[in-house]
């Protein structure tokens, strides 16, 4: 099957450090190639893939210096996709809405996986014209704000089975927070929880420039070498040690998280997750099996006291059953084959 994977340009595929969507695109692309598909990846030129790479810009936008104009980069991406559209059975886009005006008017079969939040009040009005375009969600909860759109499937993220190996004897001497420094991600709540239970907290996170004030006021005053340590962004090799030796991953989100890739990364390391009941959490975390779902900080403190009840080997088994890249690729391929078989090659704009 001839498949086009269209990636965002903020990070390379895979990303050097932070970049959830680009990591998923990389894992999916490699698995589809291993399944015998003829895959073309549209991404930044510094991407690395076993598929055919069509570079839309020389380097990923976030780490390029000087910072390039993103609009011209995406114009080049869309031009490259449109130029080759007829040569694919399915064009699979990971670029939110930007490609839709172009592909809706073309002859190719395309589908879009939505990776971000969809609860913005303007979306039903602004994106209403794309209501008939086929969409794939990364959790059922993600669909909530746009229930009348053309959702054809939910496909949970997956990562390579052997990417992370749980340490044989984890130290369990600290709590972990990983992701992005932002109020909606709750690193300040993680600090309070760790201080309450008397365990060290290690923070591995991206610090966006837009959140520098939040970091300065709510995170930096509590940093020290003993109780709260800020590590910064980490790569996959460092995650094995960081997550695998943690007593638990704290996931105190205060927003409708569409998926939460770090949750299954922790599960791959056999590390339990203590997560707030927001967004996709009830779909991903099995309460009392792979972690605990809580409502507030006091419940999170109680959950830490119950971590000894969880079997870390079973957490890893659940990951292998539900969240591998192989399972993810097979589900996507089923969707692609069904679309190609039914001959849905055009979609009318509402």
Over range 233-243, report the average pLDDT.
90
Digit-coded pLDDT (tens) for 89-98: 999 999 999 9
Q: How many CA atoms lie within 13 A of 150 on its CB side?
A: 16
- Our CA angle for 206, 49, 105, nearest 5°, is 90
Residue 11 has pLDDT above 60, yes or no: yes
What does the pLDDT look like over 297-309, one tens digit per residue?
999 999 999 999 9
- Which whole number is the average pLDDT over 253-272? 96
Predicted confidence band of residue 349 (pLDDT cuts 50, 70, 90): very low
pLDDT surpasses 80 at 191 = yes
Statement: residue 76 has pLDDT above 50 = yes
The string of pLDDT tens digits covering residues 23-43 is: 999 999 999 999 999 999 999
Q: Which of 95, 49, 52 is nearest to 70 (CA)?
A: 95
Q: Domains, the chain, ranges and CATH?
A: 2-160+325-342 (3.40.50.2000), 175-322 (3.40.50.2000)
Please report how many Cα atoms fall inside a 13 Å half-sphere around the Cα of residue 278, on the Cβ side. Answer: 19
Read off the DSSP letter of residue 36: T
- Give the integer Cα–Cα distance in Å for 344 and 350: 16
The answer on pLDDT for 344 being more than 90 is no
Contact 200, 271 (CB under 8 A): no
Compare 349 and 43 and report the one with higher pLDDT: 43
CA atoms within 13 A on the CB side of 248: 30
Confidence of residue 16 (pLDDT cuts 50, 70, 90): confident
> Mean pLDDT for the chain?
93
Return the pLDDT at 112: 97
Token pair belonging to 205: 């996170």
The residues with which 113 forms a beta bridge, in sequence order, are 136
Q: Could you tell me the two tokens for 75? A: 């114009």
Indicate whether 17 pLDDT > 60. Answer: yes
- β-sheet bridge partners, residue 230: 203
Residue 214, SS3 per DSSP = helix
pLDDT (tens digit, 9 = 90+) per residue, 43-64?
999 999 999 999 999 999 987 8
Band of pLDDT at residue 343, cut at 50, 70 and 90: low
The residue with greater pLDDT, 42 or 208, is 42
Strand partners, 214: none
Nearest to 60 by CA among 72, 48, 46, 41: 46
- Indicate whether 186 pLDDT > 50: yes
Q: How confident is the model over 265-287, as a mean pLDDT? A: 98
Q: Of the candidates 270, 260, 264, which has an alpha carbon nearest to the alpha carbon of residue 315?
A: 270
- Structure tokens given for 343: 């001959």
Q: Note the pLDDT of residue 348.
A: 47
Binning pLDDT at 50, 70 and 90, where does residue 65 land?
A: confident
323-337 burial: b if 16+ Cβ within 10 Å, else e: bbbbbbbebbbebbe
Residue 346 is predicted with a pLDDT of 45
- In angstroms, how far is CA 328 from the centroid of its own chain? 13
Across the range 249-266, mean pLDDT stands at: 96
Q: In what order do the strands lie in the sheet with 248-251?
A: 228-230, 201-206, 175-180, 248-251, 273-276, 291-294
């Amino acid at each position: 099957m001839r498949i086009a994977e269209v990636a965002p340009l903020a990070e390379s595929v895979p990303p050097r450090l932070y970049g959830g969507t680009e990591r998923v695109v990389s894992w999916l692309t490699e698995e589809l190639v291993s399944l015998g598909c003829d895959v073309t990846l549209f991404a930044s030129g510094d991407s690395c893939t076993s598929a055919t790479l069509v570079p839309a810009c020389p380097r990923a936008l976030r780490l390029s210096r000087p910072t390039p104009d993103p609009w011209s980069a995406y114009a080049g991406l869309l031009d490259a996709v449109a130029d080759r559209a007829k040569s694919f059975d399915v064009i699979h886009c990971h670029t939110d809405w930007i490609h839709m005006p172009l592909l809706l008017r073309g002859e190719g079969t395309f589908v879009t996986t939505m990776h971000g939040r969809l609860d913005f009040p303007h979306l039903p009005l602004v994106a209403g014209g794309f209501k008939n375009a086929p969409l794939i969600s990364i959790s059922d909860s993600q669909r909530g704000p746009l229930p009348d759109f053309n959702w054809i499937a939910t496909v949970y993220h997956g990562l390579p089975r052997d990417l992370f190996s749980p340490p044989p004897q984890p130290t369990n001497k600290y709590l972990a927070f990983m992701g992005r420094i932002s109020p909606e991600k709750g690193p300040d709540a993680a600090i309070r929880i760790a201080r309450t239970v008397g365990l060290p907290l290690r923070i591995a996170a991206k610090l966006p420039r837009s959140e520098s004030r939040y970091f300065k006021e709510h995170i930096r005053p509590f940093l020290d070498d003993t109780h709260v340590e800020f590590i910064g962004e980490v790569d996959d090799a460092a995650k094995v040690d960081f997550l695998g030796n943690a007593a638990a991953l704290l996931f105190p989100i205060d927003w409708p998280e569409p998926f939460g890739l770090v949750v299954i990364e922790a599960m791959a390391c056999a590390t339990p997750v203590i997560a707030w009941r927001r967004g996709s959490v009830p779909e991903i975390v099995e309460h009392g099996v792979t972690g605990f779902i809580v409502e507030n900080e006091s419940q999170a403190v109680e959950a830490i006291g119950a971590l000894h009840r969880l079997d870390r080997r079973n957490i890893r088994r659940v990951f292998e059953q539900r969240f591998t890249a192989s399972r993810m690729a097979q589900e996507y391929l089923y969707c692609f084959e069904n679309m190609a078989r039914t001959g849905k090659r055009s979609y009318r704009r509402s």
